[in-house]
Structure 1
Amino acid sequence: MPCTYRYSQYHIVKETLWHNKQEKGREPLALTLHPKYSQHVKYLGDTQHNCTFSIRNVTKEDSATYWFRFITNQAHGRYTGEPGVKLTAKSVSLKVKVNRKVTEGQNVTLTCRTNCSLSDHPTFIWYKDGNPTLNTNPISSVLYLQSISNAPKNISVSVSPSGEIVTGSSVTLTCTCKSNLPVKNFTWFQKNETNISEREQNYTI
Structure 2
Amino acid sequence: MNATYTHPTIVTVTNRFWVIDTDSGTELTDLHKEPGYSGRVEYLGDEPNHISLSDVNKSDEHVYCFRIVGDKGGYTGHPGVVLNVTDLQVIIPAEVTEGESVVLTCKTTCSLTDPTFIWYKNRHDLTTNSTESNKLHLQRVSSEDAGSYNCAVRGSEHLPSPAEYLSVRYSPKKLSVSISPSGEIVEGSSATLTCSSDANPPATCEWYKETKLVRKVPTYTIANVSSEDSGEYKCKCRNKVGHQYSSRLTLNVLSPSHGVSMSISISSNILEGSSVTLTCGSDANPPVETYKWFKEKQSSPVGSGQSYRALQNVQYYCKVLNKLGSVRSATVSITINDGFVIVYVAVGLGLFGLGALLSTLLWLRWNRQKKKADEGDHQNIGLSAKDDTYAALDPAGRKSDDVYHTLAISHPGSPGDTSTSSDY
Same-fold status (TM-score > 0.5): yes
Among 211, 221, 225, the alignment partner of 1:204 is 221
| Structure 1: distance between partners of 2:79 and 2:197 | 62
Give matches, 1:1-205, under 5 Å.
Answer: 2-5=1-4, 7=6, 15-21=15-21, 28-33=28-33, 36=35, 39=38, 42-48=41-47, 50-54=49-53, 60=59, 64-70=62-68, 80-87=76-83, 94-97=90-93, 104=99, 108-112=101-105, 114=107, 116-120=108-112, 121=115, 123-127=117-121, 131-133=124-126, 136-137=129-130, 140-149=133-142, 150=170, 152-178=172-198, 182-190=200-208, 191-194=210-213, 197-198=216-217, 200=218, 202-205=219-222
Unaligned runs of 5+ in 2: 143-169, 223-424
Cα distance, 1:67 vs. partner?
Answer: 0.9
- Cα distance in 1 for partners of 2:195, 2:12 equals 76
> Which secondary structure does the structure 2 equivalent of 1:188 belong to?
strand
Q: Which has the higher contact order (CA 8 A, sep 6+)?
A: 1
Q: 1:146 to 1:175 in 2, by over 3 A?
A: same
Amino acid at match of 1:20: I
**How many residue pairs were aligned?**
189
Query: Which TM-score applies when normalising by structure 2?
Result: 0.34
- For 1:135 and 1:37, locate their aligned partners in 2 and report how far apart those are by CA, in whole Å: 38
Report the AA paired with residue 160 of structure 1: S
Aligned partner letter, 2:221? T
Using the size of structure 1 for normalisation, the TM-score is: 0.61
Residue type of the partner of 2:104? Answer: T
Secondary structure in 2 matching 1:112: strand
> Structure 2 counterpart of 1:204, which letter?
T
Give the number of the structure whose residues are more often strand, by fraction. 2
Q: 1:89 to 1:122 in 2, by over 3 A?
A: same
1:13, 1:48 within 8 Å by CA — same for their partners in 2? Answer: no
Percent identity of equivalent pairs: 24
Instruction: State whether residues 197 and 203 of structure 2, in contact with CA within 8 Å, keep that contact through their aligned partners in structure 1.
Output: no
Contact 2:118–2:126 (Cα < 8 Å) also in 1: no
Are the aligned partners of 1:125 and 1:139 in contact in 2 as well (CA < 8 Å)?
no
Larger Rg: 2
Unaligned runs of 5+ in 1: none
Distance 1:197 1:13 in 2: 78
SS in 1 for 2:32: helix
Q: Check whether the contact 1:31–1:37 (CA below 8 A) recurs between aligned residues.
A: no
Give the CA deviation at 1:192: 0.6
Are 2:49 and 2:66, in contact at CA under 8 Å, matched by a contact in 1? no
Specify whether residues 89 and 152 from structure 1 end up closer, same or farther in structure 2 by C-alpha distance, changes over 3 A only.
same
Conserved 8 A contact 1:109-1:142:
no
- 3-state SS in 2 of match to 1:187: strand
Moved more, 84-93 or 137-146: 84-93
Q: Using the alignment, how far apart are the partners of 1:22 and 1:111 within structure 2?
A: 38
SS at 2:41's partner residue? strand
Q: Residue type matched to 1:137 in 2? A: S
Residues 107-127 of structure 1 show CA distances to partners (whole Å, capped at 9, x for unaligned) of 62323264x414522634142
1:88 and 1:196, CA in 2 relative to 1: closer, same or farther beyond 3 A? farther
Per-residue deviation, 1:162: 1.3
